[in-house]
A and B are shown apart, each in its own frame.
Chain A
Amino acid sequence: MAVLEVDDVSVTFGGLAALIGVDVVAEAGAVTGLIGPNGAGKTTLFNVICGLQRAKRGHVVLDGRDVTGARTFNRARRGLARTFQRLEVFGSLTTRENLLVAAEMQRNGRDPHAVAQEILSEVGLTEYADVHVDSIPTGLARLVELGRALATDPKVLLLDEPSSGLDEAETDAFGELLLRLAERGLAVLLVEHDVELVMRVCSQIYVLDFGEIIASGSPDEIRRSAAVQTAYLGSPLSANGSGR
């Protein structure tokens, strides 16, 4: 079931088109990938989805409801959570407090402290629970953001390059965590530069280039797509193999 639908979204900055008629769908219980070169518009799309950036055209539908005009916090209350490419942790609070801030904003009757404790162990941050977040390594701070997003008990989770700063073993564990979250029924939309990770955990992948979706499909379809190869390498491998 599609929990998040992005329908024909366009954004311009001055005269520059950052997104052009983008359509993306994220299903519950699956990890959906969004890949593309730097400057393709991935983060802009996330900002449009969560309401930090106004779209010039198009709609965002969350859990069957059009939220295009809704404010950021109202979208969050409808079950949308995200992490940021450029860290947006609450640096002067501890890891536990970061999670508590998120849990305390929910009105679901659950004890915020219990929620925070549960998530601390789930994302593997128990050791750093009472450390101020601006003094922990970046990779772990990304996990704090993930934990904080989870503490809002979301239906849709937008992850903006969550694995950067993680080493190989940590990235593997992170992939497992994403699959577990999807199994629970969460719709995960993943922006990631680590294409291996994306191919492994995503069931559906969108490729964004210069603000346009140039391909979408299963990991296998994306691997074989000539358009994707051109975007990434300058020309399809089948032609002469020379890169850009």
Chain B
Amino acid sequence: MDWNKLLELTIYGVALASIYAIAASGLVVTYTTSGIFNFAHGAIGMLMAFAYWQVRVEWGWPTWLSLLVILGFVAPLTGAAIERVLIRNLRAAPLAVTLVVTAALMVGLMGLATVLWAPNRSRLLPGFYTGKTVTIANTIVTYQQLITIGLAVLLAIGLRSLFLWTRTGIAMRAVVDSRDLVALNGGRPVMLSTLSWALGAMLAGLAGILLASGPTGIGLAIEALTLVVINAYAAALFGRLRSIAFTFVGALVIGLVQQYSVGYNLTDNAFFNTQVVPVVPYLMLFVALLLLPEGRLRGAQLVHAIKIRVPSLRTSIFWGGVLVLAGWVISELVTGTNLTAVSKGVAIGIIMLSLVPLTGYAGQISLCQMTFAGVGAFAMSRIASSGTTVGFGSLGIGNGNPLGLLAAFVLAAAVGALIALPAIRLQGLYLALATMAFAVIMSSAFFEGGAIFGAGSTDAGAVQRPHFGFVSLNSNAAYLVFLTFVFGLVAVGVLALRRGPFGRRLLALRDSPAAVATLGGSPTRTKLLVFSLSAGLAGLGGALYGGVDRNVTAGQFSLFGPPGSLSVFVLAVVGGVATVSGPLLGGQLLMMTPVFFTWLGTKLKTDLTPYAQVLFGLAGIGLGRNPGGAVAEISTRFRALVMDRTVHESESETHDPPIEGLLRRDVPLGAPITPSQLQELDALLDLEEVSGIGRAGSR
């Protein structure tokens, strides 16, 4: 046994673990005090590392001043600003909305980083005390590693003291149990929440700077740095997003496992070493999620969403026809790259349609729809081919055989079921995290590396368009018409599903999983079915998307893309995942906005393309609060404009909050309120239940 190597790897591992612990404890602090999981935590860390580079390297400020400015002012102010502007209003919002808003924030911040620091030059962040080392038992340890480990230890001690011995810390812990009680006892939960986000952003920033300046080889790369900070999410899950101590343990396990798997080549398999090892933290995130105990079934949430009318079969077929007609007109008017972009937008629209039953109806979040799309494209490239494709062999049944589309649906649905089987018992947030981990794992360990979409650095692979004998889809115009036809068909199908028993059950599941279970329905089975169906539809969309260019790359099916699962999810929500027209709009927004910005940029002689992503982020943040999305919002306003008074009157009649039920009864003034009425009022006003207060007080 090479003890020196073991010691060296252990020190490296502990140093890496220290960074994870710093980032993860920031996440835990924000989650516990505000109850909102910050998906953008990694992006904040990345942004702060860039900001640090700006002052330290570009402006040449001394290290101490740079650190003070970024970690003492910029990061905490950013965190506090995010809390004040976005998070505070989300406290009573359903989980799906909070996830959309923070995911959109992540997209927006990454866009902002691209705008401010265009990735057209390499940026290097110097380490701390570069070249200075000490030797411990024949092993060279850098000052930076020692500082990193020291900072984590100080942080552990600091956080523990904060939570145990300071008024603020104790109040922060109390906010977790009952926000209202803290307020009643003179605490200021709102202030505490702002404080925790400031602290969280500072810790994310510190982790980002340590990672970017350390020997990890990541440097200043927007996506890579964001992803590595997200590695820390796994550590936070070890502590179930609550315990700082277990978070540190989790970070240690992840850091060591990662370093050992890098240091000891477990196999000689180069693919394993280059593609699987980097995603070890995500594999562990996935495992940590699966080890979580099954939560209690959630009860109903009081949410007043816009009522979206479900069109009849006849109406939906009519609009499907109109869509195909519009597709034909556009295909005659638009040419070249614009035609390609519109077509891709429709194909992405089909992938977004897969989120309608899953997110729009059942309220489940998936951040890996492009992964399923990639599986679909893979199936199409192998099945509907003449048998000459590389890697994994080929089951070719002829170029463009339409059965390839069926294969794409079936394979993606099967993969969907496979991931869902272990993950589906998780609720809300954890399912979203599991799908995100799955997207990163599949991207690195499956799509990239050449076996799937061809060898070489581009990882590109040919995907045939379906071929129907008598109808030729060879021209791009014809393919667009075909895509709109498929979109219409899938949309009519999704609406039919909504009108039927399965659609009803999905909405019931979203409204109250607990009630579904007490009626004899298995929430797990229903979720499994809808997840699988959704994956299948995304696979179908992916196969068709590949046909637009007749070629795909691994990057398109990654988490960040473009187009990427994250943007697909955010823009689907922006368009509206409760309607089938929302995805149509979302797909076009995703594909046409960059085209528009490029065009505008050439007119203004400046590069505006990065602004598209910022816009996506802003749109997601703005519209994420309205689960109806843009289309529903526009149509509601339009209808209100047309019908004005009548609509307002009928709305005020049907949108009575349930509290009216209590108030409307003819109860004489002064009649005592019964305990049950009091409880009902509590429930309606969303106050803590009496038993909850009793428990908190009895501790």
Contacts and interface: CB of A to CB of B under 8 A. Distances in A.
Given A38-B679, A90-B515, A73 B520 contact: yes
Interface in A99-134: 100-102, 104-106, 112, 131-132, 134
**A38, A52, A92, A161, most chain B CB atoms within 10 A:** A92
Given A85-B679, A92-B510, A164-B680, A138 B662 contact: yes
**B304, B521, B683, most chain A CB atoms within 10 A:** B521
Interface in A30-54: 38-39, 50-53
A38 B662 CA distance: 20
A187 interface: no
A101 B676 CA distance: 28
Nearest to B653: A135
Interface string B650-670: 000011101111101110000
A65 interface: no
Interface string B358-373: 0000000000000000
Contacts of A87: 300, 658, 683
B507 A193 contact: no
A155 interface: no
A139 B303 CA distance: 19
A137 B666 CA distance: 13
**A53, A89, A91, most chain B CB atoms within 10 A:** A91
Nearest to B305: A92
Given A105-B521, A132-B307, A161 B676 contact: yes
B658 A105 contact: no
Contacts of A10: none
Interface stretch (B139-147, B216-224, B556-564, B690-698): B690-698
A137 B657 CA distance: 8
Contacts of A139: 661, 665
B153 interface: no
B658 A138 contact: yes
Interface stretch (A75-83, A198-206, A217-225): A75-83
B690 A90 contact: no
Contacts of B302: 91, 134
B508 interface: yes
B391 interface: no
B144 to A, nearest CB: 44
A14 B297 CA distance: 19
A105 B505 CA distance: 9
A52 B661 contact: no
Contacts of B659: 138
B646 interface: no
B301 to A, nearest CB: 9
A143 to B, nearest CB: 11
A135 B655 contact: yes
Contact of A84 (B299, B510, B699): B299
B518 interface: yes
B133 interface: no
A164 B676 contact: yes
Nearest to A164: B676
B507 A76 contact: no
B396 to A, nearest CB: 43
Contacts of A88: 299-300, 512, 514-515, 518
A199 B547 CA distance: 72
Interface of A: 13-16, 38-39, 50-53, 71-73, 76-77, 80-82, 84-93, 97-98, 100-102, 104-106, 112, 131-132, 134-141, 148-149, 151-152, 161, 164-165, 167, 193-194
18 contacts: A14-B699, A38-B679, A73-B521, A73-B522, A77-B520, A81-B519, A85-B676, A86-B683, A88-B518, A91-B303, A101-B521, A135-B655, A138-B658, A139-B665, A141-B658, A149-B518, A149-B519, A164-B679
Given A15-B698, A73-B519, A81-B519, 4 more contacts: A71-B522, A72-B517, A82-B518, A97-B504
